[in-house]
Amino acid sequence: MKNKKDKILLKGMHFFGYHGVLDEERRLGQRFEVDLELVLDLQPAGQRDDLTLSISYADVFKTVEAVVIGQPFRLLEALAERISQQVLEQYPLVEEVVVKVKKPGAPIQGCFDYMAVEITRERDR
Query: Does the annotation mark 62 as catalytic?
Result: no
Strand partners, 9: 37
**Of 39, 40, 37, 45, nearest in space to 13 by CA:** 37
C-alpha dist (Å) from residue 61 to 39, 58, 67, 72 = 16, 5, 10, 18
Angstrom distance (rounded) from CA 95 to CA 102: 23
Angstrom distance (rounded) from CA 20 to CA 6: 34
Of 2, 7, 62, 103, the catalytic one is: 103
Q: What share of the chain is helix, strand, coil (3-state, %, to 5)?
A: 35, 30, 35
Q: Say if residues 77 and 21 touch (Cβ distance below 8 Å).
A: no
- Give me the active site residues, please: 103
